[in-house]
Structure 1
């Protein structure tokens, strides 16, 4: 069996994580509170960073009498603008092994499924001249519901697979939710254990574990010599 499509996460897979991840994104949250005339406590800001849940974020907004949906849309816009600026300043760049993507695209349909904002993902692909390699691109929509549907939910994975018309696909990610989302969607998974994932536990086994995107070409169901 040869995969007819390859799907990729973005952050930590294609795009290098910021050295101050995730604390750098507190700036976008603080800026959003400021737009709504709120001077938040550190705990309020922290509720919107790393491991945040929609319910907890909604409670924090309610504490300040701020409409959550309106706040969220501004938070998404500010976070996306911050990330675009980081890319432009060279603070976030592609991993060197992304060179293999052009080789892989010659033999496979390819897609992106990221829990980052869709606007951020599209900008990243344009900024680094990758847009022509991917036929299906999904980041999260800038709504609360869009956030709720991110991985490990399969909503965006399913949409990408449908758009590609794929029957056997491999999802490449760097987190437990990537592996879970892939398996829930009936896909095989490849977990990329980069330096920031040393010692990172996985609650379920991925189909493959690799150290670099270059290793994908060596997998029997991905390489160009696959039967």
Structure 2
């Protein structure tokens, strides 16, 4: 068998496969408004993307004009999830050509997985709305690990479950990049989801991610 560099692809979801972070932001902004918490995009992007839920909630609680605990804000999670799912079903934020690029890799038998810090309900709703779920052999979410990113556990566990020894990771957040690097895997930083389809086409065309019989 001819050997190529990578034997699997592992993707973060929000900000990599889908431009869904603005929808998470909008859902949180609406849920937090009754508490008087003014959440702007720059603060959300800096402190709430790619971090553990408890760290994010601590940050949000500190922005409240009146004392509120992170555990109290956690009680708003179901409503935030309902809003996010409704928003993503209304306008799935899928980059052009992403489905075709993933389909090409999927047809060639390349194992692919989603490795997300979001909850399973959000992840499945997003992938189903975007019609991307069938391309992935594994979907690993927040509930599936004890230590979230930047700990290496999410990527180590995903690689083990799909039988990959040298996967290539696609990430956007600093926590995600650190998680992949601490796992010992190569990682490409995706600055915005629109960058991903050209990367996948180029990698496939160059033969860097395919395993084939000679």
TM surpasses 0.5: yes
What TM-score results when the alignment is normalised by the length of structure 2? 0.73
Change (3 A) 1:137 1:23: same
User: What pairs up with 1:131-150 in 2 under 5 angstroms?
Assistant: 131-141=133-143, 149-150=147-148
Post-superposition Cα deviations, 1:160-196, rounded to whole Å, max 9, x if no partner, equal 1221121111111233333222111111112234488
Which residue among 213, 221, 226 is the counterpart of 2:200?
Answer: 213
Show the counterpart of 2:112.
110
Point out where structure 1 has 5 or more consecutive residues left out of the alignment: 198-208
User: What pairs up with 1:55-204 in 2 under 5 angstroms?
Assistant: 55-57=58-60, 64=67, 66=69, 68-69=70-71, 71-72=73-74, 74-90=75-91, 92-98=92-98, 99-105=100-106, 106-141=108-143, 149-194=147-192
Check if 1:11 corresponds to 2:7: no
| Separation in structure 2 between the aligned mates of residue 186 and residue 210 of structure 1, nearest angstrom | 24
Post-superposition Cα deviations, 1:33-75, rounded to whole Å, max 9, x if no partner, equal x5xxxx3343xx56x93314354346568x6354x33532x33
Of Structure 1 and Structure 2, which has the larger fraction of its residues in strand? 1
Show the counterpart of 2:51.
none
Change (3 A) 1:29 1:154: farther
Of Structure 1 and Structure 2, which has the larger fraction of its residues in helix? 2
* TM-superposed deviation, 1:219: 4.4
* TM-superposed deviation, 1:94: 1.1
* TM-superposed deviation, 1:130: 2.2
Is the CA contact (8 Å cut-off) linking 1:191 and 1:210 kept in structure 2? no
3-state SS, counterpart of residue 81 of structure 2 = helix
Aligned pair count reads 200
Is the CA contact (8 Å cut-off) linking 1:192 and 1:211 kept in structure 2? no
What TM-score results when the alignment is normalised by the length of structure 1? 0.69
Which residue among 24, 43, 49 is the counterpart of 2:44?
Answer: 49
* TM-superposed deviation, 1:85: 1.4
| Separation in structure 1 between the aligned mates of residue 167 and residue 62 of structure 2, nearest angstrom | 39
Change (3 A) 1:9 1:104: same
